[in-house]
Amino acid sequence: MKFNLHGLTLLILLSATCFGQSGIQSRSRPQKPVSVPEKNEVKLKKAIIYIENSESMFGYVSQISEYVDVLAELSEKPEFVRDKIPVEFNFINGTGPTLTPLGNNPSVLKNKLNRAGFSCGDITRSNLNGMFQVALKNAVNNAITLLISDGIYDIGGTGINSLVTEGKGTRSQFISRLVQGDLQTIIIKLRSRFDGEYFYTSKSGKIKLNGTRPYYIWIFGDSKLLNLYFPNEYISTKLAGFENMARFIKPGTVKVPYQATAEKSAGTFRFDRNTVNRLNDAKPDKHGLGFQFSIAVDYSKLPYPESYLTSADNYIVPEKYSIVSITKPATKIYGVSFTPSHLITVKTMKNPAGMLTLSLVNRVPAWIKETSSDSENNILQDKSHTFGFSYLTGGMIQAYESVSDDKSIAAFNIDIHL
């Protein structure tokens, strides 16, 4: 598709009575933290789907394709039907951008998924930042919005410098929406058969292309609603041509319960009777195993895949400590007031005293960088890259990072004393 942009963090940041591994005798159990009641559940009011139909998108609907299958799936998403959620369909193109409402009948939309049906509005131009502005503006009052596009800025062949400007415009669109309140963004990369014309961005002109091309879906809305209606499993198994996805949430959106435990411990310590997550009389193991313990955490409300949560690369830990493992508890952990989803085991061979702050932080998925290309010279053979994609996603990520002083999804603070 083509776009003239003006509009998008990633997201995601976390700043022993015991028989330890060395066979040390047990000590008193830690004090249970006070549970905080959750706010009332959010109920989805409606879903609004914006489908870019500039001329560069016609190749996706010129035949039966994965793209057509995905739009048909989303138009009658089983959970929307079950919960009687109204779904509004719109085409969007032009520099305005121009909006063509299609109503809320899935049959009407599906009948439009062809070249003739796409031929409405201003198909000659597109404004990606303008599309983001429309979708972000309407992702309020318990509504979810979806934008479906090839993710290519329409800069009229003005070159790479224009992409920098457009990326800043994307950042501004997202910042403006993020300061209004909670907003999660899901970005999904999909592939589809494509038989149509590819319009160059870095230079003027177009070329006939018959093969496979990527396209993208952005989903915006309240985090609880997106976690409920668009879980990772649905996205990865029900959307034809799925390749990758990422979620962006505002830091501090989800509170993650945590508590120090004696699981997998080495050395000795005792829990403070009055202060949760304070360890006293901490001593390394006498047989040279160092000082080790585990932090029980509940990630059940975080919308990230298991692979993200269990990768030590996504954590920041003080220099003298290291992460030994991130696993699911094998047995019930006594003395913890919540049900842990994971155990993070940490270790040091140095003096253990001090404040240990372990943070789960936002790391941009590698696929986002790998998807972007600064060249269109090999477009006939290139089935996976999108020109200028890093400028688009970079603006979005910068927006999420700029709206909060807390750069971690969650931070676990353990006060350790000798």
Q: What is the tens place of the pLDDT at every residue in 346-395?
A: 999 999 999 999 999 888 888 998 999 888 889 999 999 998 888 888 88
Are 110 and 172 within one domain?
A: yes
Residue 189 forms part of a structural domain: yes
Are 220 and 239 within one domain?
A: yes
Q: Which of 68-72, 150-154, 202-206 has the highest mean pLDDT?
A: 68-72
pLDDT of the residue at 14: 30
Cα–Cα distances (Å) from 214 to 49, 116, 230, in that order, read 19, 22, 20
Q: Are 327 and 342 in contact (CB under 8 A)?
A: yes
pLDDT of the residue at 32: 46
Residue 377 forms part of a structural domain: yes
Are 68 and 190 within one domain?
A: yes
Total length of the chain? 418
Cα–Cα distances (Å) from 25 to 215, 226, 265, 285, 311, in that order, read 58, 46, 11, 12, 32
The pLDDT of 260-264, averaged and rounded, is: 96
CA–CA distance, 398 with 185 (Å, rounded to integer): 13
Are 220 and 347 within one domain?
A: no
Are 210 and 267 within one domain?
A: no
The C-alpha torsion from 196 through 207 and 389 to 149, rounded to 10°, is -20
Are 394 and 296 within one domain?
A: no
CA–CA distance, 362 with 15 (Å, rounded to integer): 10
CA–CA distance, 2 with 10 (Å, rounded to integer): 24
The pLDDT of 64-81, averaged and rounded, is: 97
Domain residues for 228?
Answer: 46-252+365-402
pLDDT of the residue at 114: 97
Nearest of 346, 355, 353 to residue 321 by alpha carbon? 346
pLDDT of the residue at 184: 93
CA–CA distance, 68 with 113 (Å, rounded to integer): 7
Are 112 and 176 within one domain?
A: yes
Are 105 and 237 within one domain?
A: yes
CA–CA distance, 283 with 292 (Å, rounded to integer): 10
Q: Are 9 and 403 in contact (CB under 8 A)?
A: yes
- Please state which of the ranges 39-48, 85-94, 120-129, 232-241 shows the lowest mean pLDDT: 39-48
Higher per-residue pLDDT: 392 or 138: 138
Q: What is the pTM of this model?
A: 0.82
Residue 29 forms part of a structural domain: no
Residue 32 forms part of a structural domain: no
- Give the mean pLDDT of the chain: 87
Residue 39 forms part of a structural domain: no
Residue 170 forms part of a structural domain: yes
Q: Is the pLDDT of residue 24 over 60?
A: no
Nearest of 26, 55, 13 to residue 262 by alpha carbon? 26
Residue 224 forms part of a structural domain: yes
Are 389 and 287 within one domain?
A: no
- Please state which of the ranges 152-161, 181-190, 260-269 shows the lowest mean pLDDT: 152-161
pLDDT of the residue at 154: 79
CA-angle at 147, arms to 166 and 92, nearest 5°? 80
Grade residue 405 by pLDDT with cuts at 50, 70 and 90: low
Are 182 and 160 within one domain?
A: yes
3-state class of 124 per DSSP? Answer: coil
**In which element (H, E) is residue 217 found?**
strand 206-221
Are 199 and 294 within one domain?
A: no
pLDDT of the residue at 269: 97
Beta bridge partners of residue 190, listed in sequence order: 215, 242
Are 74 and 90 within one domain?
A: yes
CA–CA distance, 52 with 246 (Å, rounded to integer): 21
Higher per-residue pLDDT: 156 or 276: 276
Q: Is the pLDDT of residue 334 over 80?
A: yes
* Number of domains making up the chain: 2
Residue 98 forms part of a structural domain: yes
Q: Is the pLDDT of residue 86 over 90?
A: yes
